[in-house]
Amino acid sequence: MRPDEYRKLYGNFTALLYGPGGGGKTVLAAAVSKFGPTRILDLQKGAISAITGGSRFIDEQNLDIVPIRNMNEFNDAVAQIEQDRERLRFVAIDTISELDDMIESEYMENSPNQMEYKDYREKLWRMMRITRFFRDSGLNIIMTANDEVDKKERIIPLLDGKLRALLPNQIDIVCYVGIKDTPMGVSPTPTGGPMPSMLTRQVITQSAHVSVRDRFNRLAPAENITDNPALFWAKVLGVPVPPPKSGAPQARPTADPIAGTGTPRR
């Protein structure tokens, strides 16, 4: 199916995945490559290492990672996306928090002591222009961000100033991606020692304590993405998970509960 036919049939979405480092945001973003050509703009310089442990969850033939070190490289990458728009289906910005910092660093070079009010306004305008460009591109857009706790003790995306309030309102799906430590059974010792537990990656889409949104209403309040993060995107897109390609490498056994099968730890 050509990208234009795909978009006509399924439309396009925007998603913001946020959470702590190592929670699985980049692996989840890369897993969308199972559904078509995907380009990741790697501003955090960790995409390749992050997805190595989850390589069986992605389609490497559909995945293109572009390292971004400064705004000139980011602008070049955006221009290239415009040229490649007809053959791309998904673009991920990893992370939008780093992009915000990168823009701010430009202003700090001109005003080493502090940014002026007009600088903050211009930075906000630039960020909103960039995000609107991606939102209106006709592509499926995934943004990742770090997390923080606000004054009301809610977990929210780590974004600067007004961007924190404005950006999520443009996004179809805002969800928290993190690791849950789930107890298993009873304590292994009569004296009540540490209980065995399993680490799982979860996506939270409904919670009173976390800033989330699901405009499509296709996701459960909590989605377990440990075994197959592509299932998350299948629900978002409303399509089946593509079958493994012929000759695709098989998953390797691992004792890592995050990168692997969820082996219990003690």
State which H helix or E strand residue 94 sits in.
strand 90-94
Task: Give the pLDDT means over successive 10-residue stretches in the chain (266 positions).
Answer: 49 87 88 93 82 74 91 93 92 90 78 67 86 89 90 84 81 87 53 56 80 85 85 89 55 32 31
CB 260 within 8 A of CB 231: no
- pLDDT at res. 22: 81
- pLDDT at res. 112: 59
Distance (Å, rounded) from C-alpha 141 to C-alpha 147?
19
Distance (Å, rounded) from C-alpha 50 to C-alpha 41?
14
- pLDDT at res. 199: 66
What dotted CATH number matches 3-237?
Answer: 3.40.50.300
pTM: 0.78
* Torsion sign, CA atoms 76, 34, 199, 176: positive
Domain-by-domain residue ranges, the chain? 3-237
Residues 6+ away with beta carbon under 8 Å from 252: 56
